[in-house]
Structure 1
Amino acid sequence: MDNDTHFNNDHLITWCNVRGTTFKFASITHPKTNGQLEAVNKLIKGLLRKKLDDAKGFWPEKLEEVLWAIHKNLLEEKRIAAHHQNILNKQCMEHFYNSRVKSRTLQLGDRVLKKVQTKVTGLRPRWDKPYKVIEIIAPNTHSLEDKYGERLAHPWNMEQLKYYYK
């Protein structure tokens, strides 16, 4: 137990004084940590019991293995907690970004610019001339026609279109 007086005896104090070690006692500032220490001690004792089913006198040799197992478990718990925190951060960033995005639905007759499909280099425009929305195939899929009334070969997704302000 962590509140016992294992270290407060004349033999140990004399032994420490002979070797030049000063012994200082402190009162417990955080009583809640007492329970934490007892829980860890209970965990160590339980793991030692599991490891030492047959050989009861070898606990000093097995103690290192038990402490390593506890260390690995704690690392795994920290890794899982960090992963959950990372997911929460990504969700917060996504919410922050999505709250500022203004979604736009196109209507029949709206004018749009179409993203150029070839690699754009230099000072070439990234968006192609204005087209007119002539059919809404799905919520984000539209059929377009150019200024001469010629329908484009295939429908276009909203990601490749930008509203054209007159």
Structure 2
Amino acid sequence: YHPQTSGQVEVTNRGLKRILEKTVGENRTLWSDKLEDALWTFCTAYKTSIGCTPYRLVYGKACHLPHEIEHKAYWALKHTNFDLRTTGDHRKLQLNGLSELRDQAYDNSLIYKERTKKLHDDKIKNRIFNVGDQVLPFNSRLKVFSRKLKSRWSGPFTIAEIYPYGTAK
């Protein structure tokens, strides 16, 4: 298991970490006690990338809090005279709706990925390199662990091969 290789896992872990940081407070040793609440918060929060909450994507309906459940139970008691055939048809419609919801979430995630890729690609500067050119690549790790007099540039390196999208070896 290597979460750094999956961007979606990284984003999820980052979101959970932010929620835990806000709920745990000063006593960070008790983070495991708050994990279930953080997961509940994460699963019931709207996600732009899929266009709904993860809870709704799994269960096909919005999450109801205890006071909403009480109201729904009262409504169900009022309408207990139901026909079995009608109930079966209603359940089939619910399952079809869940399938449509998942397809829509998949389409939304593809649109979101395309949009974020376009935003990322727009930031990339188009530089033309040739085989044999000398380059000094920026070392982003040295930016995080900076030392005052250490250069953040590596090299010089000589370009041996050119690949698509401006990458080189």
TM-score computed with the length of structure 1 as normaliser: 0.38
TM-score computed with the length of structure 2 as normaliser: 0.37
Q: Which structure shows the bigger proportion of residues in strand conformation?
A: 1
Q: Which structure shows the bigger proportion of residues in helix conformation?
A: 2
